[in-house]
Amino acid sequence: SQTIHQWPATLVQPVGSPLSLECTVEGTSNPNLYWYRQAAGRGLQLLFYSVGIGQISSEVPQNLSASRPQDRQFILSSKKLLLSDSGFYLCAWGLLGGYNEQFFGPGTRLTVL
């Protein structure tokens, strides 16, 4: 069966500090991978998605970036965090060529102070 991992689970960072969040998927190959952010009381905002190694599509221009160095690894980064980057970051995977279902990881709760 497929499993998706995210770490860390919670993170408190000062403004201006760098960020690296990691997501890995087990039990499947060539998945579509997604990064979402959910601010308090708001809906899911798609940040990035990837259909393969090194292929990243950005949905929202901002100070975040994503990379996919391996087939089942997706990394979200920032060089300098802003207060507005606080939120619940969710990684998700879906089958390449599937019916577009997405399966979410446990999430990382980021607080920028």
Give the whole-angstrom CA distance, residue 59 versus residue 34. Answer: 11
- Binding residue for another protein, selected from 11, 44, 53, 56, defined by CB under 8 A: 44
Tokens of 51: 């259909």
Q: Does 26 bind another protein (CB under 8 A)?
A: no
How big is the CA angle at 16 (ends 70 and 58), to the nearest 5 degrees? 40
Residue range at the interface with another protein (CB under 8 A); choices 20-28, 65-73, 77-85, 104-112: 104-112
Site for another protein in 77-96 (CB under 8 A): 90, 94
Residue range at the interface with another protein (CB under 8 A); choices 14-22, 23-31, 36-44, 78-86: 36-44
Q: Does 107 bind another protein (CB under 8 A)?
A: yes
Q: Does 49 bind another protein (CB under 8 A)?
A: yes
- Cβ atoms of residues 111 and 19 within 8 Å: no
Give the whole-angstrom CA distance, residue 66 versus residue 82. Answer: 17
